Amino acid sequence: MWGGRFAEGPSAIMREINASIPFDKALWREDIRASKAHVAMLGAQGIVSAEDAETITKGLHEIAAEYERDGVPEDWDLEDIHMTVEARLTDLVGPVAGRLHTARSRNDQVATDFKLWVRAANARAIAALGALRSALVERADEHCGTIMPGFTHLQTAQPVTLGHHLMAYYEMLTRDTARFAAAQERLDECPLGSAALAGTGFPIDRGATASALEFSAPTRNSLDAVSDRDFALDYLMAASQCSIHLSRLAEELILWASQPFGFASLPDQLSTGSSIMPQKRNPDAAELVRGHAGRIVGACTSLMITMKGLPLAYSKDMQNDKPPVFEAASLFDLSLAAMTGMIAETTFKPDRMRAAAQAGHATATDLADWLVREADIPFREAHHITGEAVKLADTKACSLEELSLEDLKGIDDRIDEPVFKALSIEASVASRASYGGTAPDQVRQRVAEARERLAAENSPED
């Protein structure tokens, strides 16, 4: 299609290195959609005759049906999806097909196609995140009062509620959702009509193609429009950050499902067995979600480094934009689906969680706080006294709660009977009722708010 000025055709190596059809055929729907919008505009503007526009549109329609049925043929000589479609159109409708490429270039074409693809990927991410966030909220609601150890440094710190822990992930994923939504807003300008790099001399109507493709407006600078891949990076960055959150959640499920923890049992449908150890039940899905995060972040890094230092406008390096986005998107979609299944179906083990919360002197801070509140002891001194109590409990191999009043008075005389009320893990979590704290009532309020928010997100706005 560009052979006019060449005496010889490309070598086999040139054809191979140049071909993007093996991966960009994934853009066929977007390519045909954008071509239909373009030719309709060319017809409306009288740049091509109404008759030719109709012939081309019918041809494009037929190609879509063929691809839907048989897949996209992969001919390296045709280089990419844009030329593949155009060549097929020529087969079908003859030389009139050549009018389709009036007032456009593959440079604005690929930017438009890819933007349409990424827009759909953002929308899928937002919807899948909605499902995962709902699953977290439902499980949190079930476990507002379930006590587990809260950790810092992975050491038992203070008792928390499982509901509170799950809602922490709801918060992360809510921020991720906002990142995809912001990406969606930023990409809302249509590059089509920027042509090769400088715009075109034909009297095109860019507003018409923009609205036919459901963009708010055309892009304002043709050089930027054909060389901008920020929309793909926005997607990859949002997916990277989200996949980091998913991998943290996956890691916790892996840990909780391990025998020494025993806090959870992952659903059969998302676990695998071992071919040699019959007792095993491996958390493979969670491990792969954790692993996929590495590949998604890698894809983001790959495109950032591809774009770095490219002069305006289009350079062929940019053809390498698609594989990382396609790969990341399929890993990310799968990760969200797997995680939603795991959250919805995991069996939590409240007894084990409770026992672990009891075991780690998790209410030591409550003892110190009691000394401050009830005996007016400065916190630093209270901290020291509590440390003595923990030491004694360790020596006696019992919990703080199981120490006798005599034991405690032996450490500090100001300690009294009512202290025992503060030492239970129930009292401990109930007392942390500051806004955003772990107290069951607080968690219940956050769950109710989250439910309202999810319902609002799902109801169509007018």
If residue 43 lies in a helix (H) or strand (E), which one and from where to where? helix 28-44
* Residue 183 near ligand ARG by CB under 6 A: no
Near ligand ARG in 107-126, by CB under 6 A: 107, 110
Pair 293, 246: CB distance under 8 Å: yes
Collapsed DSSP state (helix, strand, coil) of residue 404: coil
Beta bridge partners of 149: 159
Collapsed DSSP state (helix, strand, coil) of residue 397: coil
Supply the minimum distance, in Å, between the C-beta of residue 174 and ligand ARG: 35
* Residue 28 near ligand ARG by CB under 6 A: no
* Residue 319 near ligand ARG by CB under 6 A: yes
| 106 versus 164: smaller Cβ distance to ligand ARG | 106
Pairing of strands 189-190, 155-161: unpaired
Supply the minimum distance, in Å, between the C-beta of residue 19 and ligand ARG: 9
Whether 274 sits among the annotated catalytic residues: the reply is yes
Residues near ligand ARG (CB under 6 A), total: 10
Helices (H), 310-424: 322-345, 350-359, 364-375, 379-395, 405-411, 419-423
Catalytic residue, candidates 216, 274, 330, 404: 274
Supply the minimum distance, in Å, between the C-beta of residue 45 and ligand ARG: 24
* Residue 20 near ligand ARG by CB under 6 A: yes
- Using the contact rule CB under 6 A, the part of the chain among 32-40, 50-58, 102-110, 422-430 near ligand ARG is 102-110
Catalytic residue, candidates 153, 275, 434, 459: 153
* Residue 340 near ligand ARG by CB under 6 A: no
Buried b (16+ CB within 10 A) or exposed e, 127-166: ebbbbbbbbbbbbbbebbbbbbbbbeeeebbbbbbbbbbb
**Region of residue 153 (left: phi > 0; alpha: psi -120 to 50; beta: else):** left
- Using the contact rule CB under 6 A, the part of the chain among 104-112, 141-149, 174-182, 333-341 near ligand ARG is 104-112
Angle at 171 between CA 154 and CA 181, to 5 degrees: 135
Binding-site member from 104, 106, 115, 245 for ligand ARG (CB under 6 A) = 106
Near ligand ARG in 275-314, by CB under 6 A: 314
Binding-site member from 24, 30, 52, 176 for ligand ARG (CB under 6 A) = 24
Beta bridge partners of 148: 160
* Residue 318 near ligand ARG by CB under 6 A: yes
| 240 versus 319: smaller Cβ distance to ligand ARG | 319
* Residue 84 near ligand ARG by CB under 6 A: no
Supply the minimum distance, in Å, between the C-beta of residue 27 and ligand ARG: 9
- Distance between CA atoms of 319 and 1, rounded to whole angstroms? 18
- Distance between CA atoms of 132 and 116, rounded to whole angstroms? 25
CB count within 10 Å of CB 55 equals 20
> Could you list the residues that contact ligand ARG (CB under 6 A)?
20, 24, 80, 106-107, 110, 314, 316, 318-319
Active site positions, annotated: 153, 274
